[in-house]
A and B are shown apart, each in its own frame.
Chain A
Amino acid sequence: MADRARRWRARALSALALVAVWELTARWIHGLLFPTFTQTAAAFVQLLTLRQFWNALWVSHEALLLGFTIAAGLGIAAGLVMGRWPAADAFIDPYLAMFLVTPMSALIPVVILALGLKLLARTTVVALFAFAVIAVNTRTGVRTLQSEWLEMARSFGANERQLWRTIVLPGAMPSIITGLRLGLGRAFTGMVAVELLLVAVGVGRLILEYQGAFESGAVYAVIVFLVIEAVVLLRTLRAAERRLAPWAGLVATE
């Protein structure tokens, strides 16, 4: 209990320090594009009352939701298959490696030109941003399963379906959720990148409009909202991980 209180105190202090540094730096820089914390906070409150903001958020989140769902489905499936069967891994791995090292922003124009300027293209960009990291983490989760568990299950007569249900999926679950967490972060990046760099809709368009009008408090308010939303979603996934895989001790990384 005391530990928890100490941790919260440390967090509050760190937040206060951040706010103080932000406020002082903005006052010192004195530019039109870098607002103070207080300006941002006021703009944030006002933003929440604007229908235009919620509409923009909905437009952006259509792509985020669809893209992330597709990336999660394909990424988990690919990761499981690659982790379980070396032949599949050999077949898919070079492309996955390419996905990992390719700067995704460079692919945005290609996707847009191939798929158009609407939801399909934006969804694909979000999915491309998130897919590889989910697949890699899922594969790692399957590969790091202890072979003794599988052998033991087989020796007790478990068939492939039972192996998946009782060992592979539960064992890989912590890594899958880690992949989803990392993938979600990337999906957010993809959503904003496509809207800022190529087709300005949703929150990206809002940010560009506020920037052009030097409403920097509003620009940062939108960004702060997205950061808060992403943090809440990531924490939700962490809570889901604790519930679905309480045995999780290992953390897979990108």
Chain B
Amino acid sequence: MTRIRVTHALCACALAIASVAAASCRRPAPSTVRIRFGDLINVDVRDVPLRMAFDDLAARGYTVEKVYVSSSAMTTDLLIRGDVDIAMVNNQTVWTAIAKGAELRTVGPFTATTGVLAAGAAVQSCSDLDGKSVGAPGSTGLSPVLFRTYVERHCPGTQPQLVVMPEAQARTDALLAKRLDAAMLPGEELLKLQRGGKLPLHSLYDYASEFPDVQAEGLHVRRDWAAQHRGVLEEFLRAQLLAYRRVIQNPQVLYDESTRRLKIDADTAAAIGRSHLDMHIWDANGQLTDGNVQSTIDFLVKANAVPAGMKAAQVADLTFLNAVLDAIGREPPAPIAHGGRATP
């Protein structure tokens, strides 16, 4: 009798364990899943929806560890070495690494670029840049390439003096001290300066409207990690797109979250948020397609910024993003920012 009871008890235990195991097999056990996310140090309003997505992932049991690094090259190297799983880096840096043999892929969007060429009163048009000092984050990379293209398009023959200052803060300070006549800055930085009213600064052009189809930044992974963590990556992209849709549908959420997370005043948060939303920097469908990846590559090849012959399939794997879009549905496309011009 006792033996039967013990047998029944053991069977019940085995059943319970099996049912728990079966339940956990249906969905990955998120509490055990850690995602190491590599990002650049400067967190601003552009990052807020992604931070909201991290909170959603955390609520579902994922642990998102943020690793902040000061340069795109270093972030890319961390990704290659497996010290981070997903990284937000500019596409050109990652694609250059891929051309050198790194097993990385672009899998998702970040935002449209918000960079602007901020200028003082002396520079009102492209041709005014002749002989003027222009602060740039680097002599290679996307920003100077875009700048050169802008000059070739609007005022060919104009010869600005490019002053390379890697730190955005340094360029801002030099612009305010009138040591520079213009500088490539994040759009948010210019907005803050304009609101501060320290100098009459304006945007000569913004990248998003001048180059609407150039995909400057994105989310990148190691190929082997993505293959082994397909579900995790899709959950990540899903949370990201849903957060983007939330702020697009309800801008107040963006303003409130920006105020709370970045410790900026509500008016500034709303002004920056409105500007970003007007430029459609967050895309409800993730913005990335094989077509615009290829056109970005073509643009970078033309500017000698990545090796010739590169194809979209070599650098991007959009199957994860497309699977998520299939699951959550696609939204109607947003109008082109500022009625922007055609892609180069």
Contact = CB atoms under 8 A, between A and B. Distances in A.
A4 B81 CA distance: 44
Interface string B55-92: 00000000000000001111011001100000000000
B164 A200 contact: yes
Nearest to A33: B77
Contacts of A196: 166
A117 interface: yes
A64 to B, nearest CB: 19
B325 interface: no
Contacts of B76: 32, 214
Contact of A209 (B72, B140, B170, B177): B140
Nearest to B73: A211
A18 B241 CA distance: 49
A31 B77 contact: yes
Which size bracket describes the interface of B in this complex?
20 to 34
Interface string A204-227: 010011011110000000000000
Contacts of B167: 197-198
Contact of A112 (B71, B72, B170): B170
Interface in A2-57: 29-34
B41 to A, nearest CB: 14
Contact of B174 (A34, A112, A212): A112
A199 B100 contact: no
B93 A212 contact: yes
A208 B77 contact: no
Given A29-B81, A33-B73, A113-B174, A199 B138 contact: no
Contacts of A246: none
Interface string A113-149: 1001100000000000000000000000000000000
A205 B138 CA distance: 8
Given A196-B166, A208-B164, A212-B93, A117 B80 contact: no
A200 B77 contact: no
Nearest to A198: B170
Contacts of B102: 32
Given A212-B93, A212-B138, A213-B96, A32 B77 contact: yes
Contacts of A31: 77, 80-81
Nearest to A113: B177
B166 A214 contact: no
Contacts, number: 75
Contacts of A197: 166-167, 170
A112 B139 contact: no
B81 A109 contact: no
Nearest to A116: B179
Given A31-B80, A113-B173, A208-B166, A200 B73 contact: no
A32 B100 contact: yes
Contacts of A34: 77
A205 B100 contact: no
B310 interface: no
A176 interface: no
A71 interface: no
Of residues A31, A211, A212, which shows the largest number of chain B Cβ atoms within 10 Å of its Cβ?
A212
Interface string B177-196: 10110000000000000000
Contacts of A201: 164
B271 interface: no
Contacts of A199: 163-165
B97 interface: yes
A30 B71 CA distance: 19
Interface in B127-184: 133, 138-141, 163-167, 170, 173-174, 177, 179-180
A56 to B, nearest CB: 11
B80 A32 contact: yes
Interface string A181-196: 0000000000000001
A212 B77 CA distance: 11
A113 B97 CA distance: 35
A33 B102 CA distance: 12
Nearest to B74: A33
A31 B97 CA distance: 10
A200 B173 contact: no
Nearest to B90: A212
A116 B138 CA distance: 18
A34 B170 CA distance: 28
Contacts of A30: 80-81
B100 A214 contact: yes
Contacts of A29: 81
Given A32-B80, A33-B77, A112-B170, A200 B180 contact: no
A37 to B, nearest CB: 18
A155 to B, nearest CB: 59
B97 A32 contact: yes
A198 B170 CA distance: 7
Contacts of A213: 96, 140
A175 to B, nearest CB: 37
Given A212-B72, A214-B97, 7 more contacts: A33-B77, A117-B165, A117-B179, A197-B167, A198-B170, A200-B139, A211-B71
5 contacts: A33-B77, A200-B138, A208-B138, A212-B72, A212-B96
Which 6 pairs from chain A and chain B are nearest by CB? A200-B164, A33-B77, A113-B177, A31-B77, A31-B81, A211-B73
